[in-house]
């Protein structure tokens, strides 16, 4: 158990005991503070809360799901846009048309052609 946690709880207990008229020796306060530190470390098990590792893993899983959903949405948008461009430019139905980063439109049919 960490010294800083015990010191923190000792200080809090000392103030609380003083405010509530409870007398205890420094050794008793230290023993209680050490017990509280152990209780706090085990709180997630007592109240069925996942530990930080499980929470971080859960957050990471959720972010991966969101990213996958956004990627799928983007891919569908891109397919629709490329299909619209192919139709607008009256390209053959089996031509592969791709929109580049700067709005360039390329057709792939055995060779690459930039469509103006």
Average pLDDT over residues 22-37: 92
pLDDT band at 32 (very low <50, low <70, confident <90, very high): very high
| Residue 98 β-bridge partners | 106
> Which pLDDT score is estimated for 54?
77
Comparing 71 with 41, the larger pLDDT belongs to 71
pTM: 0.48
Q: Are strands 105-108 and 112-115 parallel, antiparallel or unpaired?
A: antiparallel
Number of domains the chain is built from:
1
Residue 1 has pLDDT above 70, yes or no: no
Q: What share of the chain is helix, strand, coil (3-state, %, to 5)?
A: 65, 10, 25
User: 15: domain range?
Assistant: 3-115
Give the lowest-confidence range in 59-63, 68-72, 80-84: 80-84
Contact 85, 69 (CB under 8 A): no
Q: pLDDT averaged over the chain?
A: 85
Cα–Cα distance between 17 and 15 in angstroms, integer? 6
> Which pLDDT score is estimated for 72?
97
DSSP 8-state class, residue 105:
E
Residue 67 has pLDDT above 90, yes or no: yes
């Amino acid at each position: 158990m960490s010294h800083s946690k015990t010191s923190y709880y000792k200080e809090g207990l000392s103030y609380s005991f003083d405010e509530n008229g409870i007398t205890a020796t420094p050794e008793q306060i230290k023993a209680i503070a050490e017990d509280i530190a152990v209780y706090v470390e085990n709180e997630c098990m007592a109240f069925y809360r996942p530990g930080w590792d499980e929470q971080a893993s859960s957050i990471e899983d959720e972010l991966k799901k969101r990213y996958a959903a956004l990627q799928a949405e983007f891919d569908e948008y891109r397919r629709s846009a490329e299909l619209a461009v192919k139709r607008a430019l009256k390209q053959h139905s089996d031509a592969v048309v791709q929109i580049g980063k700067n709005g360039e439109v390329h057709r792939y049919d055995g060779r690459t052609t930039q469509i103006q």
